[in-house]
């Protein structure tokens, strides 16, 4: 039985001042949440106690007169003793809340929720081995995430941290062979229905190296469908706002790039292509997220020239892969990544 501790969440009413960039003139303001160690750069590029959650305008911080990113959490070594990580943020416009992962309680990350300005962080659930990368349901009343205990699984729970349910691993029926469910991570809840996309290596052939593919299932774990079938890894699915397309990461061409497909897995198309970049072996493009209108996609990618390992920055591009723009500027070897594009509907 999985150890589980739930905490009752007392959510604050969120006024306009608590919504990122709500005081700007646009009535329906878009923003991008991201994870960064910019206040505590790590020589490792990522670390266990230096990352925090920031929010910025979609145009980023590089254009003249662009507002600086706003730091929402303060777990890094400059503010916390002992320091801890915060990251993997997801925004619910319905609830005006941010779900995220943090290892502030122990060495392993767990799922928390906070107001849009970073106030009132509350623990939602604590699982043995940890929990990571939450995603809100369309109405914001439920959250999916993956547990960190190996093999990992996709879970759902309500906004009070109750009703925690493992969707990807079923109890073995007496007298029947065990069902191999593999390793299941990085869920994303469709904005238009109760379908959840996720990454799994469950269909890896015996004796072969583990191969990740993308699957979808209903929010109760039923009606499982495999969408990709590549010789290499497909991972990190992200639904479009209309629920008709899924962006994802694939290294089927030799290294991670951003791809897109229809919701049924058809019409798979490569969007990014960094073949011409110096030292292409260092390029890694990951974690897509759609703009609320569906016209652009944000992602993070490794930058830097060999032999240095480089560091990560956040980018945006049109939904067809054109007009790629870097929108963060992080001191090497710092990390800025895991973007999540949100919209605060003020009217």
Window from 42-51, 67-76, 240-249, 291-300 with minimum mean pLDDT: 42-51
Provide CB contacts within 8 A for 296, sequence distance 6+: 58, 290, 316, 317, 318, 319, 341
In a domain, 5, yes or no: no
SS3 282: helix
In a domain, 186, yes or no: yes
Provide the domain limits for residue 219. Answer: 22-166+180-345
Residue 339's pLDDT is: 97
In a domain, 100, yes or no: yes
The CATH number of residue 229's host domain is 2.120.10.30
pTM: 0.90
**What does the alpha-carbon distance between residue 342 and residue 55 come to, in Å, rounded to a whole number?**
10
Window from 9-23, 88-102, 116-130, 181-195 with minimum mean pLDDT: 9-23
Query: Stretch 16-31: mean pLDDT, rounded?
Result: 61
Strands 184-189 and 165-166 come out as unpaired
How many CB atoms are located within 10 Å of the residue 8 CB? 10
Residue 180 in this model has a pLDDT that exceeds 60: yes
In a domain, 14, yes or no: no
In a domain, 154, yes or no: yes
Mean per-residue pLDDT of the chain: 87
Residue 283 in this model has a pLDDT that exceeds 60: yes
Query: Stretch 318-326: mean pLDDT, rounded?
Result: 97
In a domain, 130, yes or no: yes
Residue 32 in this model has a pLDDT that exceeds 60: yes
Query: Stretch 131-136: mean pLDDT, rounded?
Result: 98
**What does the alpha-carbon distance between residue 222 and residue 244 come to, in Å, rounded to a whole number?**
20
Residue 18's pLDDT is: 57
In a domain, 260, yes or no: yes
Residue 128's pLDDT is: 94
Query: Stretch 126-142: mean pLDDT, rounded?
Result: 96
Confidence bin at 220 (pLDDT 50/70/90): very high
Domain count, the chain: 1
- The H-or-E segment that residue 36 falls in is strand 28-36
In a domain, 135, yes or no: yes
Query: Stretch 134-139: mean pLDDT, rounded?
Result: 97
49 compared with 58, residue with greater pLDDT = 58
Residue 6 in this model has a pLDDT that exceeds 50: no
């Amino acid at each position: 039985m999985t150890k589980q501790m739930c905490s009752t969440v007392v959510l604050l009413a969120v006024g306009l001042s608590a919504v990122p960039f709500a005081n700007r003139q646009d009535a329906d303001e878009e923003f991008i949440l991201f994870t960064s160690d910019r206040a505590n750069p790590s020589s490792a590029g990522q670390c266990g106690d230096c990352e925090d959650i920031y929010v910025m305008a979609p145009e980023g911080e590089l254009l003249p007169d662009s507002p600086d990113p706003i730091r929402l959490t303060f777990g890094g070594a400059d503010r916390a003793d002992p320091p801890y990580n915060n990251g993997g943020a997801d925004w619910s416009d319905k609830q005006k809340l941010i779900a995220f992962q943090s290892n502030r309680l122990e060495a392993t990350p767990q799922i928390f929720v906070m107001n849009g300005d970073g106030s009132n962080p509350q623990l939602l659930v604590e699982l043995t081995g940890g929990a990571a990368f939450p995603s809100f349901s369309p109405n914001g009343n439920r959250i999916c995430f993956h547990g960190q205990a190996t093999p990992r699984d996709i879970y759902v729970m309500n906004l009070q941290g109750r009703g925690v349910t493992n969707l990807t691993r079923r109890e073995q029926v007496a007298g029947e062979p065990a069902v191999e469910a593999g390793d299941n991570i990085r869920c994303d809840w469709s904005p238009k229905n109760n379908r959840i996309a996720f990454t799994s290596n469950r269909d890896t052939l015996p004796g072969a190296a583990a191969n990740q593919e993308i699957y979808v299932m209903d929010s109760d774990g039923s009606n499982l469908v495999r969408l990709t079938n590549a010789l290499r890894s497909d991972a990190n699915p992200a639904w479009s706002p209309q629920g008709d397309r899924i962006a994802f990461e694939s290294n089927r061409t030799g290294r991670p790039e951003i791809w897109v497909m229809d919701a049924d897995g058809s019409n798979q198309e490569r969007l990014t292509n960094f073949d011409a970049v110096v030292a292409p072996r260092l390029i890694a493009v990951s974690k897509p997220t759609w703009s609320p209108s569906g016209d652009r996609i944000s992602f993070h990618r490794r930058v830097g020239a060999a032999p240095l390992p480089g560091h990560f920055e956040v980018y945006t591009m049109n939904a067809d892969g054109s007009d790629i723009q870097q929108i963060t500027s992080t001191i090497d070897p710092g990390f800025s990544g895991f973007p999540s594009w949100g919209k605060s509907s003020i009217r």
